[in-house]
């Protein structure tokens, strides 16, 4: 959670991060892939009621605790199966500090705003391997998307009615613990 207004162009670094970030909270960035993939956009697919649960607690951190941001481990299980188990520093494709730095280049942030900074590998939808991505970029868009949708049609990792999603974020030593969420997927 942003602790004070952040004007566009503010340079946020590891040194001054605590000046702008007041605390952290667990969020689950849910996507309805059956909506997202055919439309090739994210807004509607991430905007349904009950999507993006937040909590169970907003944990306010002092400057010393915030220095351990990179030590946080994100764990997500679906029906008991581990899907994500990664430490922020080193395991995330786009680390949170870098995401915040990119955002502040063009976005004003207000005190109280929540900024979702990404997730480690392990979601149902993952980027293809580099060679496949390179080949895909050589194809006409219609052919590329058709192949992508065909591959996704067989994806068994998408959530379905009755699945239980459990996630938590904490340091391995438990010194910082943002708590755990438990969500049962419901088709409505």
CATH class of 17-124+159-184: alpha beta
CA distances (Å), 105 to each of 12, 97, 101, in order?
Answer: 10, 13, 7
Higher pLDDT, 14 or 126: 14
Indicate the domain borders of the chain. Answer: 17-124+159-184
DSSP bridge pairs for 183? 165
According to the model, what pLDDT value does residue 153 have? 66
- The answer to whether 88 and 72 are in contact (CB under 8 A) is yes
Please enumerate in sequence order all residues whose Cβ is within 8 A of that of 138, keeping only pairs 6 or more positions apart, or say none. none
Put simply, whether the predicted model's pTM sits higher than 0.85 gets the answer no
Mean pLDDT of the chain: 85
pLDDT at 179 over 80: yes
According to the model, what pLDDT value does residue 60 have? 96
According to the model, what pLDDT value does residue 104 have? 95
Mean pLDDT throughout 144-161?
A: 73
DSSP bridge pairs for 184? 164
């Amino acid at each position: 959670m942003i602790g004070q207004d952040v004007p566009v162009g503010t340079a946020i670094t590891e040194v001054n991060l605590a000046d702008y970030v007041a605390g952290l909270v667990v969020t689950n960035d849910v996507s309805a892939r059956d909506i997202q993939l055919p439309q090739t956009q994210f807004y509607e697919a991430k905007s349904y009621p009950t999507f993006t649960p937040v909590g169970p607690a907003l944990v306010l951190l002092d400057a010393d605790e915030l220095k351990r941001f990179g030590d946080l481990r994100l764990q997500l299980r679906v029906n008991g199966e581990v899907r994500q188990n990664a430490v922020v520093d080193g395991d995330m494709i786009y680390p949170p500090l870098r995401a915040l730095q990119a955002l502040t280049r063009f976005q004003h942030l207000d005190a109280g705003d929540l900024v979702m900074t990404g997730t480690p590998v392990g979601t149902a939808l993952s980027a293809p391997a580099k060679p496949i991505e390179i080949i895909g970029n050589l194809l006409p868009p219609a052919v590329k998307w058709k192949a992508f949708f065909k591959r996704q049609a067989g994806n068994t990792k998408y959530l379905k009615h009755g699945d239980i999603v459990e996630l938590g974020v904490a340091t391995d030593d438990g010194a910082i613990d943002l708590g755990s969420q438990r969500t049962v997927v419901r088709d409505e």
